[in-house]
Copies of this chain bind each other. A is one copy, B any other.
Amino acid sequence: MDLRSRQEDYINLNPLQVGGRTSANTRLMVNSYLDGYAVCDQCSGALHQIPKPDIAGLTAKMANFLGADLVRFTHGVREAKYLLIKALLKKGDIIVVDGNAHYSTYLAAERVGVEVYSVPNSGYPEYKIKPSNYRKAIRKVKKKTGKMPKLLVLTQVDGQYGNLVDAKKIAQIAKEFKIPLLINSAYLAGRTKVNLKKIGANFIVASGHKSFGAPGTIGALGITKKWVDKLFYQSKNFSPKEVELLGCAARNAAIIGLAVAMETIEERIKLWPEELKKTNWLVEKLEALGEIKQLGEKPKQHDLVYLETPILDKIAKTKRKRGYFLAKELKKKGIIGIRPGLTKKIKFSTYGLTWPQVKYVYQAFKQILKEGEHGI
């Protein structure tokens, strides 16, 4: 096996990975806790109570950061979503999710045998989720099945368009119908502060490796106190082991990485407004090159960018490498993370890049387009 070319060697635009870049300090600490069950050196029965390394402190800090009464760590967001659906719902129950939800939300429901109704987005070109459409979807479920949905799920920022949805408005609707609401904040909490109680929802899931700069993979499930007994009840015979976590979930080095990342979270989130400036600057500049159109809401409120790029597709047709030319040309210029082969639409993120790097990315695209249009 070969060493991976690290983030330091390239400008990585992969939107799945930009929020999971670890710092040198995080890697150092994780390395020291890498051996199997090293995090459990001083465990007395439950991961979230370990005093050294201070997982107990991390648990409290994360609950505070997310505005939750209680947090438990999971292997990732999909595992947290599954835990919740599995513990609260049963086969044949119905949930309502936004039309931009990640496939893993559907899989979590499918694994339990729960049916999913989705709230359609507004379609081309913005694909927005209108909060009031949750009301319509709930009524539609009731009319069609005679049953009320048992859970609402909102992808606060989706991974396709990077659209930000007003979670508070959906929480209002959830309260109207007395249906609990889960906020999937994988792409937002950690980039900025997201507060479950201020939103007025019941559950929040966050991702260490998607948005906190922690190594893969670790999720956090934050809940309000009303739900503690339903979700984190202890085993009949093996107290204090919590059944739905099978005792402890993230009993690994990723939680160490998250703990280190959380030490500087307040500095991290301060950079968020500047990240949005960089994103919108790049989108504007790229659109001005012509035959490039940003999909999703405008202006962007998140760093994840989805572009429709007929110009790149046109150039690809003239190239021996066809659609692969773009990734190849970018790599020559030290840029990676655009999915190879695709040129009709491309996805990227500049999260964590410096202004000079963002400007360099722009110049790289500009040059590739110019050369492409001249058949070079």
Question: CA A252 – CA B207 in complex, angstroms?
Answer: 13
Tally of this chain's copies:
2
Q: Which of B21, B29, B79, B208 contacts A3 (CB 8 A)?
A: B29
Question: What are the interface flags for A238-265 relative to B under an 8 Å C-beta threshold, 1 for contact and 0 otherwise?
Answer: 1001011011010111101101100100
Q: Which residues of B contact A6 (CB under 8 A)?
A: 32, 35
Given A235-B110, A238-B106, CB of A53 within 8 Å of CB of B216: no
10 examples of A-B residue contacts, CB within 8 angstroms? A1-B29, A1-B260, A4-B41, A20-B35, A35-B216, A103-B238, A103-B241, A104-B247, A107-B235, A107-B243
Given A17-B38, A34-B30, A241-B103, CB of A216 within 8 Å of CB of B110: no
Given A41-B4, A235-B106, CB of A36 within 8 Å of CB of B214: yes
Taking Cβ atoms with an 8 Å cutoff, the residues of A that contact B are 1-4, 6-7, 14, 16-17, 19-22, 26-41, 53-54, 75-76, 78-79, 82, 103-104, 106-108, 110-111, 207-210, 214-217, 235-238, 241, 243-244, 246-247, 249, 251-254, 256-257, 259-260, 263
Question: CA A78 – CA B235 in complex, angstroms?
Answer: 15
Q: Which residues of B contact A241 (CB under 8 A)?
A: 103, 107
Q: Which residues of B contact A217 (CB under 8 A)?
A: 36-37, 251-252
Q: Which residues of B contact A243 (CB under 8 A)?
A: 107, 110-111
Given A1-B256, A106-B235, A107-B246, CB of A36 within 8 Å of CB of B19: yes
The answer to whether B246 touches A104 (Cβ under 8 A) is yes
Considering the complex of A and B, which 5 residue pairs feature the smallest CB-CB distances, nearest first? A20-B36, A36-B209, A216-B252, A4-B32, A36-B216
The answer to whether B16 touches A35 (Cβ under 8 A) is no
The answer to whether B253 touches A216 (Cβ under 8 A) is yes
Residue of B nearest to A91 (CB): B90
Q: Which residues of B contact A210 (CB under 8 A)?
A: 36
Q: Which residues of B contact A53 (CB under 8 A)?
A: 1-2, 4
Q: Which residues of B contact A34 (CB under 8 A)?
A: 22, 26-27, 30, 215-216, 257
The answer to whether B246 touches A79 (Cβ under 8 A) is yes
Q: Which residues of B contact A249 (CB under 8 A)?
A: 75
Given A16-B40, A29-B3, CB of A35 within 8 Å of CB of B107: no
Question: CA A251 – CA B207 in complex, angstroms?
Answer: 13
Q: Which residues of B contact A244 (CB under 8 A)?
A: 111
The answer to whether A103 touches B1 (Cβ under 8 A) is no
Q: Which residues of B contact A22 (CB under 8 A)?
A: 34-36
Q: Which of B17, B27, B39, B263 contacts A36 (CB 8 A)?
A: B17
CB distance from A313 to the nearest CB of B (A): 21
Q: Which residues of B contact A253 (CB under 8 A)?
A: 215-216, 253-254
Q: Which residues of B contact A251 (CB under 8 A)?
A: 76, 216-217
CB distance from A38 to the nearest CB of B (A): 6
CB distance from A126 to the nearest CB of B (A): 24
